[in-house]
Amino acid sequence: MQFRFEKRAEPSRTMLYVTPVAAVLLTMVLGAIIFTIIGYDGIGAVREIFFTPLTNSLKWQDLAVKAAPPLIIGGGLSIGYRANVWNIGAEGQYIVGGLAATGVALLTQDMSGWWILPLMGIAGIAGGMAYVAVPAFLRVRLKVNEILTTLMLTYVAVNILNYLVFGPWKSPTSFGQPQTVAFNDSQSLPYIIEGTIVQAGAPIAIIVALVAWFVMSRTMFGFQVTTVGAAPKAAAYAGFSANKTILAVLFISGGLAGLAGMLEAAGPFGRMVPQFPSNYGFTAIIVAFLGRLHPIGVLFAGVVLAITFVGGEVAQTTIALPNPAVGIFQAMMLFLLLAGDVLVRYRIVRAGATGGREAI
């Protein structure tokens, strides 16, 4: 029997919410099959990557830790993508945010006080914003494509990081290890739950998602961002400045990436090291799409991605699945989600049928 696509009169809300879930489920099925074919324990891989982090309560803390950065970054990116502004260099802004916070920490090395952490937070946000300012300026002034500039600057950020930790910022007591001194207590995030490794990142991520949701769904600013992305000419006609919107969303996404960098530096890392870039900035792109660019959707997607991160580490030790396999699972999720998008705008009908009653 032949099938074909037929355009829906309006996008299907049901499909909008069903397809991300279906993409995750289908990734498990296809992933199990593909990894079995190429000689791994496919079913074991899916079990360890997607389920063990949920069933093993020891892993829940890990989830909270791993979910925070892609959630915070993904929340910012999703706002930008709504406006059709493609900041794909959040990884670079995350690094520079972490570096800026580290800079404050190194300056306040011998000090203590409640004010140091907030100052590091501000430095992180400012660092991320400053790093996105160049692409932002180039985009609105010269119409230089932000996709390429933000990404190029990510490679530069890695080099800056290496330069600093191998050079001027190297700890004198590290026995030649490329790393800064460890942050002191006033420079490190407190544990919010006694006896766990959960720090301030997780609650901040939830607050970011809720604020983003309110802004995008209730305020004129959110309306403006969405309109600029959905119909630029209509936005101009309505009196929304495209350039101001582009600047705003780039600074928001850069600032949030920088904040995530600060939270990681002052949290799990506790110092600056060459291993600081953790691909969170790229994972956040998947989080944003899987969350349908909706702040609450991003919340769920962030947790799903964190599960795969934690599960990937589990699978590495339990069934010797190489870590890059997680990247393939994540890419598959994104592919399947994008493939599923077609169902939002089209319905599948039997060839020849036009009434749409046989529609699926």
Partner 1 sequence: MSATLLIAMLITMIGASTPILLAALGELVVEKSGVLNLGIEGMMLTGAVVGFAVTYTTGNPWLGITIAALAGAAVSMIFAFLTLSLSANQVATGLALTIFGTGFSALFGSEYTGKPLELFKSIFPASLAEDPYLRLIFGHSPLVYFSFFMVFAVWWFLSRTRAGLILRAVGENDVSAHSIGYSVIGIRYGAVAFGGAMAGVGGACFPLLLTPQWVEGLTAGRGWIALALVVFAAWRPLRLLAGAYLFGLIATMELYTQAAGGVFRIIAPEMWASLPYLATIGVLVIISLGRSANANAPACLGKPFEAGH
Partner 2 sequence: MSGETQARLEMAGITKRFPGVLANDDVSFAIKPGEIHALLGENGAGKSTLVKMIYGIMRPDAGEMFWNGAPLKASSPKAARRLGIGMVFQHFSLFEALTVLENIALGMDGGLSSRALEAKVREVLNAYELSLDPHRVVSTLSVGERQRIEIVRALLLNPKLLIMDEPTSVLTPQEVTQLFKTLRQLASEGCSILYISHKLNEIKELCDTATILRGGRVVDECDPKQETSKSMAEKMIGGDLKAVAKGTERTFGEVQLAVNNLSLGRGHAFGTALKDISFSVHGGEILGIAGVAGNGQNELLAALSGEQHAEADGVIELCGRPIGTSEPSTRRKAGLCAVPEERHGHAAVPDYSLADNGILTARHRRELVRAGLIKNSASHDFADEIIAEFGVMATGSKATAGSLSGGNLQKFIMGREILQTPEVLVISQPTWGVDAGAAAFIHQALVDMAAAGSAIVIISQDLDELLALSDTLSVINEGKLSAPMAVENASIEEIGLLMGGVHGEPSLATKPEASHAVQV
Residues near partner 1 (CB under 8 A) are 4-7, 86, 88, 134, 138, 142-145, 147-149, 151-153, 155-156, 159-160, 162-163, 166-167, 282, 285-286, 289, 322-328, 330-332, 334-335, 338-339, 341-342, 345-346
The answer to whether 264 and 278 are in contact (CB under 8 A) is: yes
- Among 3, 4, 5, 11, the residue binding partner 2 under the rule CB under 8 A is 11
Residue 351 binds to partner 2 (criterion: CB under 8 A): no
Q: Which does 268 bind (CB under 5 to 8 A by kind): partner 2, partner 1, none?
A: none
Q: Which does 239 bind (CB under 5 to 8 A by kind): partner 2, partner 1, none?
A: partner 2
Residue 42 host element (H or E): helix 42-46
CB of 219 to partner 2, least distance (A): 5
Q: Which does 354 bind (CB under 5 to 8 A by kind): partner 1, partner 2, none?
A: partner 2
Q: Which of 99, 144, 123 is nearest to 250 (CA)?
A: 144
Specify burial of residue 262 (Cβ count, 10 A radius: 0-12, 13-18, 19+). buried
Q: Between 187 and 226, how does the x/- string for binding to partner 2 read (CB under 8 A)?
A: -------------------------------xxxx-x---
What are the Cα distances from residue 82, in Å, to 99, 245, 253? 28, 11, 12
Stretch that binds partner 2, among 41-49, 87-95, 110-118, 228-236 (CB under 8 A): 228-236
- Among 227, 253, 283, 308, the residue binding partner 2 under the rule CB under 8 A is 227
CB of 172 to partner 1, least distance (A): 19
Q: Which does 218 bind (CB under 5 to 8 A by kind): partner 1, partner 2, none?
A: partner 2
In the region spanning residues 234 to 253, those forming contacts with partner 2, defined by CB under 8 A, are 234, 236-239, 241
Residue 335 binds to partner 2 (criterion: CB under 8 A): no
What are the Cα distances from residue 137, in Å, to 242, 247, 303, 360? 13, 8, 33, 47
Which two structure tokens, joined as six digits, stand for 6?
Answer: 């037929």
Question: Would you give the distance in Å from CA 88 to the centre of its chain?
Answer: 10
- Among 14, 109, 243, 354, the residue binding partner 2 under the rule CB under 8 A is 354
Distance CA 67, CA 209 (A): 12
Residue 360 binds to partner 2 (criterion: CB under 8 A): no
Q: Which does 197 bind (CB under 5 to 8 A by kind): partner 1, partner 2, none?
A: none
Residue 356 binds to partner 2 (criterion: CB under 8 A): yes
The answer to whether 148 and 87 are in contact (CB under 8 A) is: no
How many residues would you count in the chain? Answer: 360
Q: Which of 230, 216, 206 is nearest to 83 (CA)?
A: 230
Residue 209 host element (H or E): helix 201-218
For residue 121, give every residue at least 6 positions away whose Cβ sits within 8 Å of its Cβ, in sequence order, or none. Answer: 101, 259, 262, 263
Q: Which of 240, 234, 287 is nearest to 81 (CA)?
A: 287
Which two structure tokens, joined as six digits, stand for 272?
Answer: 């600056």
Q: Which does 13 bind (CB under 5 to 8 A by kind): partner 2, partner 1, none?
A: none
Residue 342 binds to partner 2 (criterion: CB under 8 A): no
Is the sign of the CA dihedral 110, 113, 116, 117 positive or negative?
positive
Q: How many residues bind partner 2 (CB under 8 A)?
A: 23
- Among 230, 320, 339, 342, the residue binding partner 2 under the rule CB under 8 A is 230
Q: Which does 355 bind (CB under 5 to 8 A by kind): partner 1, partner 2, none?
A: partner 2
- Residues in touch with partner 2 (CB under 8 A): 6-7, 9-11, 218-221, 223, 227, 230-231, 233-234, 236-239, 241, 354-356
